[in-house]
């Protein structure tokens, strides 16, 4: 007897799409609520009326309004675009490398940004986030290109194993050079210590406006990468048989990864676990289809980043924990729990 595939009941696909679409609306609402809380809550208490005045009464002035307009609003906007970029960048990276543990930290992006910042401090004395952000952006991009270039050498091209090995090698080399420099230069050490913790505080509107165009445009393009990633997930040979130009697809996607993760790392420092954890949370909700994983990652990234940033300001008030520390504490056990379900780590 020949087994036949069981057909899905009529309407099943439509119901699933409606459910997943509703989930995206819920996630979008969560971003909006958390953005408002990020502006309203913090180590300095402000009233709801003060928050409303900050947006609807441009003539009003007070110390509380200055805190909201000059510090919390830029911080919240940066959290949204950085969270979106890291969520999408982590998803693209895991899809291209076909590695469920792929992360900007192990692919050389963070180490490239760090080395470039040290170079900016040493060469021209850069001492502000708005100044060294371009060095970090360039360093992250160069590191990504270098990793892909090393992995692409040889007959097989940039296979997942070669990408992981190239990323580890570049990370080790850049990290060693950076450590050697900062240990011999006090100014470089102080600036690196402020950047390397992973933070949204102290990043004002100039930093946001410098990087927002790159992050927004690259994020919009990344949302259309679902079909190519679905094809790559079948393996290189199958992808080629289906007409997918594997080398060109990987090159374009790595360019997007360089922009997304490089700009996000330049703006907020190396925020661990976000780009690693968000794709798994998205798969837990919507399954293995990258056409749904990508939009969910774009929304879950800012949800997690905003929530952790708010927690860091509220839990130890009037002090503050930087968001990189909070995400590290929260992300490790959550990721371990997710990894216990085998299907969540299959690409």
Packed helices 290-314 and 205-222: angle between N→C axes, nearest 10 degrees: 160
295 pLDDT above the threshold of 90: yes
Choose between 150 and 332: higher pLDDT. 150
8 pLDDT above the threshold of 50: no
153 pLDDT above the threshold of 60: yes
Beta strands in the chain (DSSP E): none
Contact 195, 117 (CB under 8 A): yes
Contact 346, 93 (CB under 8 A): no
* Residue 153 host element (H or E): none
The domains located in the chain, with CATH, are 42-52+61-345 (1.10.3470.10)
Largest CA distance in the chain: 81
Q: What is the pLDDT of residue 66?
A: 82
318: preceding bond cis by omega (within 30 degrees): yes
Q: First CA to last CA across the chain, in angstroms?
A: 33
Length of the chain, in residues: 347
Q: Tokens 């445009």 — which residue?
A: 217
Residue 109: exposure state from Cβ atoms within 10 A (0-12, 13-18, ≥19): buried
Task: State the DSSP code for 188.
Answer: H
32 pLDDT above the threshold of 90: yes
Q: What is the pLDDT of residue 335?
A: 67
211 pLDDT above the threshold of 60: yes
114: preceding bond cis by omega (within 30 degrees): no
Residues 223-252 have pLDDT tens digits of 999 999 999 888 888 888 988 888 889 889
Rounded CA separation 182/188 (Å): 5
Q: Can you tell me the mean pLDDT for 248-260?
A: 87
């Amino acid at each position: 007897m020949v087994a036949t595939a069981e057909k899905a009941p009529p309407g099943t696909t439509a119901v699933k799409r409606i459910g997943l679409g509703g989930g995206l609306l819920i996630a979008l609402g969560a971003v909006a609520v958390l953005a408002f809380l990020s502006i309203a809550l913090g180590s300095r208490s402000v009233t709801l009326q003060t928050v409303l005045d900050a947006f609807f009464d441009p003539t009003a002035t007070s110390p509380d309004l200055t805190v909201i307009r000059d510090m919390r609003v830029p911080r919240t906007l940066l959290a949204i675009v950085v969270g979106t970029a890291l969520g999408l960048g982590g998803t693209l990276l895991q899809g291209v490398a076909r590695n469920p543990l792929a992360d900007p930290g192990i692919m050389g992006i963070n180490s490239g940004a760090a080395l470039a910042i040290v170079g900016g401090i040493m060469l021209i004395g850069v001492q502000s986030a708005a100044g060294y952000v371009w060095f970090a952006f360039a360093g992250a991009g160069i590191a990504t290109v270098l990793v892909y270039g090393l992995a692409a050498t040889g007959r097989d091209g940039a296979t997942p194993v070669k990408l992981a090995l190239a990323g580890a090698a570049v990370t080790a080399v850049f990290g060693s050079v950076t450590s050697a420099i900062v240990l011999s230069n006090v100014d470089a050490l102080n600036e690196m210590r402020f950047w390397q913790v992973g933070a949204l505080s102290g990043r004002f509107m100039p930093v946001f406006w410098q990087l927002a165009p790159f992050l927004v445009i690259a994020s919009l393009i990344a949302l259309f990468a679902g079909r190519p990633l679905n094809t790559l997930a079948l393996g290189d040979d199958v992808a080629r048989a289906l007409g997918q130009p594997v080398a060109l697809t990987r090159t374009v996607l790595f360019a997007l990864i360089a922009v997304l993760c490089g700009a996000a790392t330049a703006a907020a420092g190396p925020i661990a676990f976000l780009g690693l954890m968000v794709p798994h949370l998205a798969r837990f909700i919507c399954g293995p289809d990258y056409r749904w994983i990508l939009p969910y990652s774009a929304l879950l990234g800012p949800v997690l980043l905003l929530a952790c940033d708010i927690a860091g300001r509220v839990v130890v008030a009037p002090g503050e924990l930087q968001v990189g520390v909070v995400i590290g504490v929260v992300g490790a056990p959550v990721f371990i729990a997710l990894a216990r379900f085998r299907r969540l780590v299959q690409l």
